[in-house]
Amino acid sequence: MSYIISFCLCAIYYWPMENDLLFQFEDVHLKVDDLNILQGLNFNISKGEFVAVIGASGAGKSSLLRMFNALTSPSSGKITFRGGEIDSDIQALRKNVGVLFQNPVVFEGTVRENLLIAGRWDQSISQTLDHEILTALDQVGLVGIKLTHHARDLSGGEQQRLALARTLLNHPQVLLLDEPTSNLDPKLAREIMDQIEELRGALNLTVIAVSHDHMLMRRYAKRVIILSHGKIIGDGDFKTLDKSHAFEDAGLLKNEVTDAT
Amino acid sequence: MRPDFYVLSWNDLLVSLLFIACSLFLIKKWKLGLENTLLIGTVRTFVQLTLMGYVLTWFFGQEHWAFMLALLFIMIVIASYEGTRRQKHAIPHFFPAMLVALLGSAILILGTILLFILDVEPWFSPYAAIPIGGMIIGNGLNSTALTANRFVGEMKHREREIETLLALGATPKLAVHDAMKASIHAALIPNINAMMTVGLVQLPGVMTGQILAGIDPIIAVRYQIMIMYMWFTTATLANMIMLAIVYRQYFTSKLQLRRELLREKA
C-alpha cells in the first residue's frame, strides 16, 4: 500500500513538470564535413518560455534552431519533443513548431495564396475562411491589406509579417525566430518583436529566437542561451549572465549591455 | 512522275562532304575555333552510322526477339550513360534513374506501337522495333537530360522556398512541386511548339525520308502524326519517371533537404 501511495505522490509531484517540458536536448552534436558545428548541448525548454539564443556569427545558432523543427538532425545525441522522439512524426512536429526565417519567403501570387499555401496538402488550411485570415493578419499588425494584393509588392516589413501570419494559420505551439529582424530598421524590428511578444501571451506560444543582437533580445527574453564555437557557455537570465564573462567570451560587446533596457 | 527510289552511292556521299568543307571554310574565316570539333563530329557521324548500318543489316537477318530486346537494352544503357555525362550537377544515382525512365517509357510506348498501332508481325520485327525504339530512346534522352539539369538549377534557385514549405509541414514531393513544374514545362514546351508548327514550317525528318524512299505522302504523314504523339508522350513519361526518382535523392528519410548536394560543384 505504501508503494502505491509513494508512487502516486511521485506522479503528482512530477506530472506538471513533465507536462511543461517541450524540448529536451541530451548531448547533441552536429558535425558537417569534419567541422564540429555543435558540441555536446544539454538543455531543456519548457512551455511558454521566451528563450533567446545569442552568439557571434558562426557560433552554430542557426544550425541549432533548425533542430527544433527537424530541418537538421544531430550527428549524435538525442532530442525529444513533448517526451517523444522529435522525428517520430515530422509533419506534425513542423505544424506545431513554426519558423520565421531571416529573409521571409514570399511566393508568387496574392496575399491570400501565400497565406493558404499549406492548403495544398492540409485540408484544414484550404478551408480557412476569410474572417480567420483577416484575424491572422490583424494579429501580426497587417491591417488594411487586400487579400488580392500581389504579395511580392509588399515592403520588407510587411512580407515578414505576412510570413508570420502564414505560420500562425498552422496554429503552432512553438515559434522559432531566425534573426527575424536583422534586415529591418531598429524601429520596425522593435514593432515586430512587440507584436510577437503580444502573440506569445495571447496564444500561449513558446518562442525560441536566434539573434546576434542581445540588446533587442533582452527586452523580450527571460532566458538566454549563449553559444560560442558550438558550445553553450551561458544559460540563464540576462542579469545573472551579465555578471559573468559569457557575453564577452562569446565575442559580443559588453558595452552594449549598459545601453539596454 | 514519281521515282520509286533515290539510291545514294558512296560517291554521292563523298559529294555531300562539300557541305562540311563549306562550313569548315566559313568557320576558319570567322576564326570560331570549331574546326577540330567539327572534324571529329564529321568522322564520328560517318563511322557510327556506317557501323550501325552493318549492325542493323546483320540484326535484321536474325529475326529473334532476344536479339531485338538485347539491342534495345544496349541502346538504353548507352543513352543513360550519355544523359549522365551531360549533367552539369552531380546528381546522386542519376544513371539508374535514367535507365529506369528510358526503359519504362520504351516498354510502354514501343509496346503499344508494335502491338496495337502498327500490328507488326512478328511483334519483334527489327524493321519496326529498332528505328522506332531508337527514336523513343533518343527523344527520351534529350528531354530527360535537359529536364534534370533544369530541375537541379530550379532546386538551387528555390532552396529557401523548398525549406519554407517543408517547415510549414509539406512533404518533399509537394515542396519541390514548383521546381518540377518549371523544369517539365521547359522540357515539354519545345515538343508542343513542334506540334504547333509541324508541316507549316518544316517537314520532319522521318516523313522526308519516307517520301524520298518513294512512300505515298499520305501514308508518310500518318506515320509522322503517330511519331509526333509518340515523341510528346515519351518526353512526358520519361521526365516524370526520372524526376520521381531524382527528387527523392535530395531529401533524407526525415523529410530534410540535403542542402550540401545543392552546393556541390559538378
B263 touches A at CB < 8 Å: no
B165 touches A at CB < 8 Å: yes
Sign of CA dihedral B130, B132, B138, B143: negative
Q: Confirm whether A6 is domain-assigned.
A: no
Sign of CA dihedral B235, B238, B244, B247: negative
At residue B205, the pLDDT reads 81
Chain A: residues touching B (Cβ < 8 Å): 32-33, 69-73, 87, 90-92, 94-95, 98-99, 101, 103, 105, 107, 117-118, 120-122, 163, 166-167, 170
| Cβ contact, residue pair A117, B168, below 8 Å | yes
* Rounded Cα gap, residues B109 and B143, in angstroms: 16
Q: Confirm whether A7 is domain-assigned.
A: no
**Phi and psi (nearest 5°) for A72?**
-135, 145
- Number of compact structural domains in chain A: 1
**How many residues does this entry show for chain A?**
261
Q: C-alpha distances in angstroms, B115 versus A113, B59, B67, B123, B124?
A: 47, 20, 18, 6, 10
B157 touches A at CB < 8 Å: no
* Rounded Cα gap, residues A221 and A230, in angstroms: 21
Of all residues in chain A, the one with the smallest CA distance to B171 is A91
Q: Confirm whether A14 is domain-assigned.
A: no
Pairing of strands A97-100, A174-178: parallel
* Rounded Cα gap, residues A70 and A74, in angstroms: 9
Of all residues in chain B, the one with the smallest CA distance to A103 is B160
| Cβ contact, residue pair A101, B254, below 8 Å | no
Q: C-alpha distances in angstroms, A53 versus A64, A182, A205, B89?
A: 9, 14, 17, 36
**DSSP annotation of B215:** -
**DSSP annotation of A182:** T
| The A174-178 sheet, strands edge to edge | A97-100, A174-178, A206-211, A50-54, A223-228, A231-236
Chain B partners of A101 at a C-beta cutoff of 8 Å?
160, 163-164, 167
A32-46: pLDDT as tens digits: 988 999 999 999 999
How many beta-carbon pairs below 8 A join chains A and B? 58
* Rounded Cα gap, residues B58 and B70, in angstroms: 14
Q: Confirm whether A238 is domain-assigned.
A: yes
Closest CA–CA distance from residue B92 to any residue of chain A (Å): 18
| Cβ contact, residue pair B170, A107, below 8 Å | no
> pTM for this one?
0.84
Of all residues in chain B, the one with the smallest CA distance to A165 is B168
At B156, the amino acid letter reads: K
Q: What Rg, from alpha-carbon coordinates, does chain B have?
A: 22
ipTM attached to this prediction = 0.88
| Cβ contact, residue pair A72, B256, below 8 Å | yes
Q: Confirm whether A16 is domain-assigned.
A: no
Q: Confirm whether A11 is domain-assigned.
A: no
Chain B partners of A71 at a C-beta cutoff of 8 Å?
163, 166-167, 256-257
Return the ∠ at Cα B14 (arms to B12 and B15), rounded to 5°. Answer: 65
Query: By residue range, what is the domain housing residue A34?
Result: 22-259
Of all residues in chain A, the one with the smallest CA distance to B172 is A91
Provide block-wise average pLDDT over 10 residues at a time, chain B (266 residues): 68 92 95 93 94 86 85 94 90 96 96 92 86 93 95 96 96 96 93 88 82 89 91 95 97 96 73
Question: Residue A87 is nearest to which of B164, B171, B254, comparing CB atoms?
Answer: B254
Closest CA–CA distance from residue A99 to any residue of chain B (Å): 7
Q: Confirm whether A60 is domain-assigned.
A: yes
Judged on CB neighbours under 10 Å (0-12, 13-18, 19+), B139 is buried
Q: Confirm whether A160 is domain-assigned.
A: yes
Q: Three cell numbers at B209? A: 525520308
| Cβ contact, residue pair B167, A98, below 8 Å | yes
CATH of the domain at A137: 3.40.50.300
Exposure string over B84-115, b if 16+ CB within 10 A, otherwise e: beebebebeebeebbbbbbbbbbebbbeebbe
Q: Three cell numbers at B14? A: 563523298
Question: Residue B169 is nearest to which of A91, A101, A103, comparing CB atoms?
Answer: A91
Per-residue pLDDT of chain A (261 residues; tens, 9 = 90+): 666 666 555 555 545 444 689 999 999 999 998 899 999 999 999 999 999 999 988 899 999 999 999 999 999 999 999 999 999 999 999 999 999 998 899 999 999 999 999 999 998 898 888 888 999 999 898 888 899 999 999 998 899 999 999 999 999 999 999 988 887 888 888 888 999 999 999 999 999 999 888 888 989 999 999 999 999 999 999 989 888 888 888 888 654 444 433
Chain B partners of A73 at a C-beta cutoff of 8 Å?
252, 254, 256
Chain A partners of B260 at a C-beta cutoff of 8 Å?
32-33
